[in-house]
């Protein structure tokens, strides 16, 4: 029913996503590569499909690690019976960032698991490499 990740990179250096590589005013708005999505309607009734992407990681950031967090979503509309619809799920580095003990928003180098919908109809992993980057600092008191 769904294919995600066929054209998605397995590993990305953090420095290629942030800093001079990003043209956004705010670092947390730097884009990640789109997640490709393809849905095939195997029935005979036209329907809409909402793909929800959840991330999880065992070791990114502070000791309370994510079990699962909704990251992005995309609705594909009016998929006729027997037809296939394609789309791209857009997201940013903010979707992977965590808060550290000081309240700063940090992008950590780790492996993240991305699952489509709560039943994990499709999964893909993404490894961020390099050094952690503070995307936004919490003001000191």
pTM of the model: 0.80
Which pLDDT belongs to residue 99?
85
Give the confidence band of 1 by pLDDT, cuts at 50, 70, 90: very low
d(CA 90, CA 72): 7
Give the confidence band of 81 by pLDDT, cuts at 50, 70, 90: very high
Which pLDDT belongs to residue 6?
57
Contact 117, 82 (CB under 8 A): no
Give the confidence band of 44 by pLDDT, cuts at 50, 70, 90: very high
d(CA 120, CA 34): 18
Where do the structural domains in the chain lie, given as residue ranges?
2-130
Of 119, 8, 116, 124, the closest CA to residue 54 belongs to 116
In CATH, the number for domain 2-130 is: 2.60.40.10
């Amino acid at each position: 029913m769904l294919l995600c990740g066929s054209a998605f990179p397995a590993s990305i250096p953090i420095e290629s996503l942030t800093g001079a590589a990003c043209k956004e005013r705010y670092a947390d708005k730097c884009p990640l590569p789109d997640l490709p999505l393809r849905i095939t309607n195997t029935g005979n009734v036209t329907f809409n499909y909402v793909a929800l992407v959840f991330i999880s990681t065992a070791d990114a950031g502070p000791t309370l690690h994510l079990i699962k967090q909704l990251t992005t979503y995309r609705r594909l509309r009016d998929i006729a019976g027997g037809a296939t619809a394609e789309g791209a799920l857009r997201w940013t580095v903010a979707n992977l960032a965590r808060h550290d003990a000081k309240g700063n928003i940090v992008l950590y180098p780790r492996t993240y698991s991305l699952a489509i919908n709560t039943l994990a109809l499709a999964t893909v992993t993404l490894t961020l490499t390099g050094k952690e980057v503070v995307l936004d600092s919490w003001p000191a008191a």
